[in-house]
Amino acid sequence: MTTVEPRVVPGAVTTFQVASPDLEAVVRDLADLRLADMFASGAEHTTLRLVWANDTAGQAGYVVTETPVDSGEYPALSDIAPAAFVEECEIYEQFGTRPAGGKPLNRMMLPPHASLPTLGRKPPAEPEEARAPHMVGGQAFEFPFGPVRQVGVESLYYGLVTSGEEVVDLYLFTWHKHRGLEWRLQGKTPEQALFLAERTEGLSAVAMTWALAAAAEAAAGVQPAKAAQRTRAVALELERLYNHAAAMAALCQSTGLSVGQSAAEIALERLLRLNASAFGHRYLFGVIGTGGASRAPDTDAIRDELPGAYSEFKRAADALLGTNSFVDRLEATGILTADQARDLGLVGPVARASGLTADARLVPGGPYGTQPAVATATAGDVLARFTVMLAEAAESVRLIGQFLDAGTAASTIELPRTAGTGLGWAESPRGEALAWVALGDDGRIARARLRPASARNWRGFDDACRSQNVFTDIPIIEASFWLTAAGMARLQGRRRMTLWFIRGIRRGVVTTRYPARPDASARFLPTPPAFRPRALTRVTADRLVASCPSGALRRDGGVLSYDVGRCTACGRCAAEAPAAVQSSGEFELAATARSVLIKRIPLREER
């Protein structure tokens, strides 16, 4: 294979073939660009694709490199571009192909307790789990939080390592929300695929369907009408507005400002009602179609309702910026430097608050041209992210007015049934959303890659949490990132919930035993200890009591008293006396009375 020198052509997507021996050198040459995505395709013969973005004003564009990987290994690209590590883990899980050198890879998508289909070959061995089980020492201990956190919040597990108040380290398990969207897109027509793309992350329904539709249009050689593109842009800016209002409400909730939260949620509700009036759906589902837009906006409704809804938004934002207790909690919290954001390939308000200018709306070829004024900040903290969102909301209102004045329409194009590949993009409220598709000869999807902004930005969340923050800062930082777990867990294998439902109706089974079987994932998570009485002596018990930082253990004569309610599952007792203590793997610890949580373990008499 001949390697062609890659370069970014402004306003275009340029694809280059790169031979496997030359891949490392090419990645080094392109390292001054942003690595936007990395993925693989092909069950028998794997092809590795890297998507690079040039964010320089006036030169915006993408380049895709394609490299056959038949040996089962490729160069360790994350050593050159740190942003590639998450994708290296994904590719190993889904295709069994790994970076050379044998570096440990984390479990990223597929949960350990389920056998689920993959996009290619299954990996020859389980991921080594570089971060789990997480071992801590000194005065630090691990505080497990999740995956069930609170009502209405997605499943996400935090491993918080703390010395008592300050966050020393943090790691995430994101594989609880498995839905298998990329796997399920195979064999679908682009028209059918939009339904699933909308549900990649529902709060970015417009952006994800726009990206996938644009990818399919590029593969089929179709260009939407200008008026239909402006319709897409109106819907996308409305999506940005309501998301930023929701993020503002979440920031108020995380800082304990119930009055501010109510004010932000009033603005959010008005914006959601505006969406319903303008496009017939509060979350703007069903707007994007192949070759254009399926629905035209109700321009009168937007012109009548948007000024009042935005005034409500701005009133709440101005009041919050004038509240010292709120600003103090945001300032210098969750700092990400420009170098961190650049190395990790972050996008959206998170990246722009650290001084970067990445914005997919500036890539030529869409309806925006050079219109968007990109808001940036340099502090990189929660306050900077909040002020960037506020500036973007004001810009969205201005852009909507311009697009309506220029004219919008609903029109779609039936894509020709032809083979091809294409890359699509859109600037979601969280940042750049990408999609890549390969169409077969029948026009159906052979491989689809969905890359929401959340899939990029979660990798910066733990760095932001480590920067001299305390426990109570974590929900504030999470609200300022405003990401979804669904966007990270988009490609996992399918579960047949429909069959379970039908089987229950046939058998008359109303309830299901929970858990139906032991949860294998427990071995990856910190759990309270289980004691072996035969190995417990008074001397051993005293050592365990001395090692327990939370006071959950106490010796009363010939009995070891264990308070489950005070235990933090730090694992120090198991490390102190592994013959007498082991991790229980038990999560079902709820009790109707506090006294039930006090366990009394008789000690063995020493001889």
Structure tokens of 372? 């968007």
Q: Per the domain annotation, does 45 fall within a domain?
A: yes
Relative to beta strand 167-173, strand 559-563 is: unpaired
Give bridge partners of residue 432 from the DSSP assignment.
Answer: 427
Lowest mean pLDDT among 127-131, 185-189, 408-412: 127-131
Q: Per the domain annotation, does 519 fall within a domain?
A: no
Residue range 61-87: average pLDDT? Answer: 92
Residue 201 has what DSSP assignment? S
Which contiguous run of DSSP H or E holds residue 528? none
Using 50, 70 and 90 to split pLDDT, how confident is the model at 39?
very high
Residue 116 reports pLDDT greater than 90: no
Domain interval for residue 79: 13-130
473 and 559, same domain (yes or no): no
DSSP 268-308: HHHHHHHHHHHHS-TT-TT-EETTEESS---HHHHHHHHHH
Structure-derived torsion over alpha carbons of residues 229, 230, 233, 238, reported in degrees to the nearest 10: -140
Q: Per the domain annotation, does 208 fall within a domain?
A: yes
Q: Which phi and psi angles does 128 have, rounded to 5°?
A: -75, -10
313 and 444, same domain (yes or no): yes
Using 50, 70 and 90 to split pLDDT, how confident is the model at 339?
very high
What is the distance between the alpha carbons of residues 197 and 210, in angstroms, rounded to a whole number?
A: 9
464 and 535, same domain (yes or no): no
70 and 193, same domain (yes or no): no
Residue 167 has what DSSP assignment? E
What is the distance between the alpha carbons of residues 400 and 402, in angstroms, rounded to a whole number?
A: 5
What is the distance between the alpha carbons of residues 219 and 189, in angstroms, rounded to a whole number?
A: 13
Q: Within a 13 Å sphere around the CA of 523, how many CA atoms are in the beta-carbon half?
A: 6
Q: Per the domain annotation, does 150 fall within a domain?
A: no
What is the distance between the alpha carbons of residues 544 and 572, in angstroms, rounded to a whole number?
A: 8
Using 50, 70 and 90 to split pLDDT, how confident is the model at 7?
low
338 and 440, same domain (yes or no): yes
Lowest mean pLDDT among 85-99, 123-137, 423-437: 123-137
Vertex 491 angle, CA 489 and 492, to 5°: 80
Cβ(244)–Cβ(352) below 8 Å: no
Q: Among 232-236, 498-502, 595-599, which range has the highest average pLDDT?
A: 232-236
Cβ(325)–Cβ(476) below 8 Å: no
Cβ(119)–Cβ(491) below 8 Å: yes
What is the distance between the alpha carbons of residues 551 and 139, in angstroms, rounded to a whole number?
A: 14
Cβ(574)–Cβ(523) below 8 Å: no
Cite the beta strand spans of 515-573 per DSSP E. 529-531, 553-556, 559-563
Residue 179 reports pLDDT greater than 90: no
What is the distance between the alpha carbons of residues 98 and 75, in angstroms, rounded to a whole number?
A: 9
The pLDDT of residue 523 is 59
Residue 186 reports pLDDT greater than 50: yes
Cβ(399)–Cβ(372) below 8 Å: yes
Residue 459 reports pLDDT greater than 70: yes
What is the distance between the alpha carbons of residues 535 and 13, in angstroms, rounded to a whole number?
A: 66
Q: Which residue has the higher pLDDT, 71 or 40?
A: 40
Residue where a domain terminates, one of 66, 101, 130: 130
The pLDDT of residue 321 is 97
Cβ(562)–Cβ(553) below 8 Å: yes
Structure tokens of 295? 């629905």
Residue where a domain terminates, one of 488, 517, 547: 488
362 and 452, same domain (yes or no): yes
What percent of the chain has pLDDT above 70?
88
Using 50, 70 and 90 to split pLDDT, how confident is the model at 264?
very high
Residue 232 reports pLDDT greater than 80: yes
DSSP 118-138: -SSPPPSS----TTSSPP--T
The pLDDT of residue 118 is 78
Of the candidates 427, 558, 490, 597, which has an alpha carbon nearest to the alpha carbon of residue 201?
Answer: 490
Residue range 204-214: average pLDDT? Answer: 97
The pLDDT of residue 490 is 66
Q: Per the domain annotation, does 176 fall within a domain?
A: no
213 and 311, same domain (yes or no): yes
481 and 531, same domain (yes or no): no
The pLDDT of residue 485 is 87
Domain CATH for 48: 3.30.460.80
Lowest mean pLDDT among 81-95, 164-178, 357-371: 164-178
The pLDDT of residue 70 is 81
Whether the CA torsion 175, 179, 183, 185 is positive or negative: it is negative
The pLDDT of residue 261 is 96
The pLDDT of residue 496 is 35
Residue 430 reports pLDDT greater than 90: yes
Which contiguous run of DSSP H or E holds residue 379? none
Residue 8 reports pLDDT greater than 60: no
The pLDDT of residue 531 is 93
Of the candidates 40, 50, 45, 58, which has an alpha carbon nearest to the alpha carbon of residue 18?
Answer: 50
DSSP H helices in 332-420: 338-343, 348-352, 382-406
Whether the upstream peptide bond of residue 124 has omega within 30° of 0, thus cis, is no
The owner of tokens 């091809």 is: 420
Residue 499 reports pLDDT greater than 50: no
Q: Per the domain annotation, does 607 fall within a domain?
A: no
Order of strands across the sheet that contains 598-602: 553-556, 559-563, 598-602
Cβ(573)–Cβ(548) below 8 Å: yes
The pLDDT of residue 509 is 47
545 and 458, same domain (yes or no): no
Residue 364 reports pLDDT greater than 60: yes
The pLDDT of residue 602 is 92
Domain CATH for 312: 1.10.645.10
199 and 253, same domain (yes or no): yes
Residue range 329-355: average pLDDT? Answer: 96
First to last CA, the chain: 75
Q: Is 175 helix (H, G, I), strand (E, B) or coil?
A: coil
The pLDDT of residue 520 is 60
The pLDDT of residue 394 is 98
pLDDT digits (tens, 9 = 90+) for 130-163: 554 455 556 677 778 888 877 667 888 888 888 7
Whether the upstream peptide bond of residue 190 has omega within 30° of 0, thus cis, is no
Residue range 249-256: average pLDDT? Answer: 96
Residue range 82-92: average pLDDT? Answer: 91
pTM: 0.81
pLDDT digits (tens, 9 = 90+) for 522-580: 556 678 899 999 899 999 999 999 999 888 999 999 999 999 988 888 888 999 999 99
Using 50, 70 and 90 to split pLDDT, how confident is the model at 512?
very low
What is the distance between the alpha carbons of residues 432 and 97, in angstroms, rounded to a whole number?
A: 27
Using 50, 70 and 90 to split pLDDT, how confident is the model at 122?
confident
Whole-angstrom CA distances from 235 to 196, 298, 340 are: 18, 11, 32
Q: Which residue has the higher pLDDT, 143 or 278?
A: 278
Domain CATH for 532: 3.30.70.3270
What is the distance between the alpha carbons of residues 14 and 83, in angstroms, rounded to a whole number?
A: 21
Using 50, 70 and 90 to split pLDDT, how confident is the model at 505?
very low
Residue 150 has what DSSP assignment? S
Residue 311 reports pLDDT greater than 80: yes
Structure tokens of 9? 């052509």
Residue where a domain terminates, one of 439, 466, 488: 488
464 and 571, same domain (yes or no): no
The pLDDT of residue 109 is 72
544 and 476, same domain (yes or no): no
Residue range 42-70: average pLDDT? Answer: 90
- How many domains, in total, are found in the chain? 3
Cβ(388)–Cβ(353) below 8 Å: yes
Q: Per the domain annotation, does 254 fall within a domain?
A: yes
Q: Per the domain annotation, does 145 fall within a domain?
A: no
The pLDDT of residue 562 is 95
Cβ(445)–Cβ(185) below 8 Å: yes
